[in-house]
Amino acid sequence: MLYTFENTPQLAALRVETERVGDRIEFEVLGPERDLYAPLIELYYDWFNRVGPIAVHEGRNVYSLYLPPIPSGGDARLLEGIFRDKLFNLRTPRAVTIAVTHDCQCRCIHCSAEDFSESAEPLSRDDIEKVVSAGLAMGMTNVTFTGGEPLLREDLEQLIASVPEAQAVSKIFTNGALLSPERAVSLKSAGLQAVKLSLDSADPFKHDRLRQRHGSFQEVEQGVSSALEAGLLVGLSTYATNESVKEGGLGHLASLAAEWDVHEISVFDVIPTGRLLHDDEALMDELTRKDLMEQAVTLNREFRGRPRIVTQSWTNSPSGFAAYFGCLAGTYQFHVTAYGEFTPCDFTPISFGNVRTESIEHLWNKLAAHPAFCDHRRECRMQSTSFREQYIQPIPEKAPLPYPIEKLDAEST
């Protein structure tokens, strides 16, 4: 497949020919400036070739449910975004999470959206499609629909269909309660590539208790089966705490995921946000993060990359390709709440405006120019003591979220 980069004038003459050869991606850099760009492109594909794919999906290699398959138009756009960001200092959003509803059947103890304001009407289908269209025009390659519980929206398939497969991947995060075989087929037909099902523990009783919903574990298991049968890529989403890492909870979860034939496990650090916003004691310590990364390396070797375990602790580390990612909030992605508030990520309860009254491009540029988000940072901002002291602790205890950045800036001066 021939990659071109017409959206970036500096790359107008660059061409990259990519081809899937078994588990590997072969490529050739073409154009008068090939020697300038070839080393970076080689580093990019060398990483994928070293870790290997987790699946072959519709004739293309899949390396993560967060990234476009290779080769594809989405991968060309992702590569272009890297060039724009790293070589030309043109901040480009590559991912968005959109809460399509605030409603949910669960009442999770750790819910990150629990205290978000419901003072306005939820986003309409037209509102959401405008967000998707504007983000794609800026270079996005990943559109993730979240909630609440996204499957509660009857028009979710129409929203998924608004994401062109030639430009980006679409994915949902779900609790699995409504992921029936019929709904999974419907989602696949609409163009959905992947589902991430939330699983807090490999212990059914503990998972149900944390979700405060009886039978939730069984719903996740059935949802995994339904999604796989429909031909969707399937991941599990979980979170780590100091306690769960010490208890080896990831190993139990990985074994279960392998038994269920899941493709990927995302392990987020527990982040004091939502219900836990002012509970700084929940933060993971550095030794625990290191232990978690070591466990993930061991388990990835044991299971030979299926399921592939990706930890936030690794993403926020200086280890290899992770150094490129770091904190994604406002540098790689943005989030839109179910009521249109534009935030750096779904864990950061700070609003930079509303998509109903301001353009996505304006809001992104406003975010990218803010002193707290204008530079690349390795550490997750929501886990940074200095960031929390300046931007989280001043948020009043009962204030509706997300809290306006203008108020926080005014209070700090």
User: For 209-242, how does the pLDDT look when each residue is reduced to its tens digit (9 = 90+)?
Assistant: 989 899 999 999 999 999 999 999 999 999 999 9
Contact between 150 and 100 under an 8 Å Cβ cutoff? The reply is yes
* Radius of gyration (C-alpha) of the chain in whole angstroms: 20
Answer yes or no: are the C-beta atoms of 354 and 342 closer than 8 Å: yes
User: Is residue 319's pLDDT more than 90?
Assistant: no
The residue that leads in pLDDT, 355 or 399, is: 355
Residue 264: closest CA among 203, 305, 227, 230: 305
Amino acid at 163: V
Give the Cα separation of 56 and 152 in Å (integer). 30
Write down the pLDDT at residue 413. Answer: 66
The tokens for 359 are 């353009």
Q: Which of 219, 379, 353, 345 is nearest to 274 (CA)?
A: 345
What span, in angstroms and rounded, lies between the C-alpha atoms of 129 and 126? 5
For 9-26, how does the pLDDT look when each residue is reduced to its tens digit (9 = 90+)? 999 999 999 999 999 999
Residues 73-85: tens digit of each pLDDT: 999 999 999 999 9
Tell me the residue type at 81.
G
- Three-state secondary-structure class, residue 317: coil
pTM for the whole structure: 0.95
Q: Compute the distance between CA of residue 93 and CA of residue 328 in angstroms, rounded to an integer.
A: 10
Tell me which DSSP letter residue 344 carries. Answer: S
Rounded CA-CA distance 203/249 in Å is: 9
Whether omega for the bond prior to residue 349 falls within 30 degrees of 0, making it cis, is no
Tell me which DSSP letter residue 116 carries: B
Quick one: average pLDDT of 179-208?
A: 97
